[in-house]
Amino acid sequence: MKNTKYLLLGIAAVVCAAIVGRSYTYKYRAQDTILVTGLGEAEFTSDLIVWSGEVTAEAQQVAAGYAQIEKSKQKVQEYLAAKGVSAGETVFAFVNVEKQYDPIYNANGNWAGQRFAGYRLRQRFTVESADVEKVETVSREISSLIAQGVSIEAYAPDYYYTKLDDVKMGLIEKASADARTRAEKIALNAGTKIGRVASARMGVFQITGANTNEEFSAGGSFNTSSRQKKARITMRIEYRIK
């Protein structure tokens, strides 16, 4: 019985020694790597523009409001056609109709209800085109229709790039190459060489306006307000040391 006790103690000591030995080995191996972050950046010009505007009308009768909207819509279509914007590039949405009310106050200045004031109608139109320069100019000059009696509101254009997948793949290559260069310099200074990749993790894809101070977002930025853009991605790569 006594011998069995000593035997069990001996086995336990061997097992503990093996576990401790493996822990030190793992710790050594975990530190026997180089972890670097590579950066890939590229600037590009948007090749697609999406611009919206809205024609509006106010009238006591819905029919009269629709007539005003239709007249304004026709002038907008004629203007766009004259500027080289094709009908296929322009989409008019449905006409939105809202009832308008004016507040009523009594002699003491207290609110006493509301009075029907008529209808307000709105029709939004959107232009989508690969001719960015043309539509950008139109978006700035269409307010000239106001002089022709058109009630119109124009919004700032949105800019997109249709080959983002190509940009992203190129940035991954750049960031990976940058990470390897950094790791090789670190290894050289340490008197060793890098080996195979132990792990790699891609950062968030960021698109900001070129030459702006936009902040990056944890979930990724996607700028649509700037025609000139900058894309950025990082690669966090861990290399084994030979």
Has residue 178 got a pLDDT over 70?
yes
pLDDT digits (tens, 9 = 90+) for 108-145: 888 989 999 999 999 999 999 999 999 999 999 999 99
Confidence of residue 216 (pLDDT cuts 50, 70, 90): confident
Distance of CA 76 to the CA centre of its chain: 31
pLDDT digits (tens, 9 = 90+) for 63-102: 999 999 999 999 999 999 999 999 999 999 999 999 999 9
Question: What gap in Å lies between CA 208 and CA 206, rounded to an integer?
Answer: 7
